[in-house]
Amino acid sequence: MSPRADAPARPAARIRRFSRAERWIHRTTAALMGVCVVTAAVLYIPQLAVLVGRRALVVRVHECAGLALPVPVLLGLASRAFRADLRFLNRFGPHDKVWLRAALLRDRRRAARPAGKFNAGQKVYAAWIAGATLVMLGTGLLMWFTHLAPLVWRTSATFVHDWLALTIAVVLAGHIGMALGDPEARKGLRTGTVSQEWARQRHPLWRPRP
């Protein structure tokens, strides 16, 4: 029934994982997030601030990149493949509970980590980073447009923006670190396809459309 049965006969056979639209969504979001992180570091770390100066310019770049950050995802909603993947990311099945428990217990055995197209860690990350980005956008707007709200709101927004920025930096480093440790996953986002072997090992419950 499945074409995967004859994988050894066609070692080069690859499975489609991401559409062109999805790859561009990830690419542009990553670039905008990168600009946000670098400019934030310049605004935040005194040594870098002194080195670069030009605070007004750096602030403007940071604001524009932050404002644009949700745009690729919003435009991407026009893509059927992206909407389908968002549904996969949203829905948690019983196997995701198994995966999360194994992750908490640091159980690295493949059998302990059942996953569909996305594993439970990827699902939690996607949902959290989406929410965190919007919180950063909201608090950022309060800091930017001072007349929107009383000043004490601005101070509170600054507090949340600073602490959440630190949290995002740590989580993002984890996201990038895990991608660095998995070349085939990176290939999936670069070329759109992954090897059957990788899919079977990392995402055994994933049933890609032919």
Partner 1 sequence: MNPEPPEERDGTPVGRRVFLGTLGLGALGVLAAPTLQRAMEGLTSKDPTGLTGLLPNGGGFRYYSVAASVPAKNATDYRLTVGGLVDRPRAYDLAELRDLPQTRLVRDVQCVTGWRVPGTPFEGVRLADLLDAAGVRRTAKAIRFTCFDGTYTESLTLDQARRPDVLVALRMQDKGIGHDHGGPVRLYVAPMYFYKSAKWLSGITVTDRVEPGYWENLGYDVDAWVGRSNGRTDEPTS
Q: Which residues bind partner 1 (CB under 8 A)?
A: 1, 46, 49-50, 53-57, 87-96, 116-117, 123-124, 126-128, 130-132, 134-135, 138-139, 142, 146-147, 150-160, 162-166, 205-210
* Residue 15: exposure state from Cβ atoms within 10 A (0-12, 13-18, ≥19): buried
Do 23 and 189 meet the contact criterion of CB atoms below 8 Å apart?
A: yes
120-144 vs 151-180: helix crossing angle, rounded to 10: 150
To the nearest whole angstrom, how small is the minimum distance from the Cβ of residue 35 to partner 1? 19
- First-to-last alpha carbon distance for the chain, in angstroms, is 12
| Closer residue to partner 1 (CB): 55 or 190 | 55
To the nearest whole angstrom, how small is the minimum distance from the Cβ of residue 144 to partner 1? 10
The CB density around residue 118, as the number of other CB atoms within 10 Å, is 19
| Closer residue to partner 1 (CB): 155 or 191 | 155
To the nearest whole angstrom, how small is the minimum distance from the Cβ of residue 183 to partner 1? 25
Residue 9 is given by DSSP the state G
To the nearest whole angstrom, how small is the minimum distance from the Cβ of residue 202 to partner 1? 15
80-90 vs 20-44: helix crossing angle, rounded to 10: 70
Q: Give the span between the Cα atoms of 190 and 115, in whole angstroms.
A: 21
| Closer residue to partner 1 (CB): 95 or 187 | 95
To the nearest whole angstrom, how small is the minimum distance from the Cβ of residue 2 to partner 1? 8
| Closer residue to partner 1 (CB): 125 or 198 | 125
| Closer residue to partner 1 (CB): 130 or 180 | 130
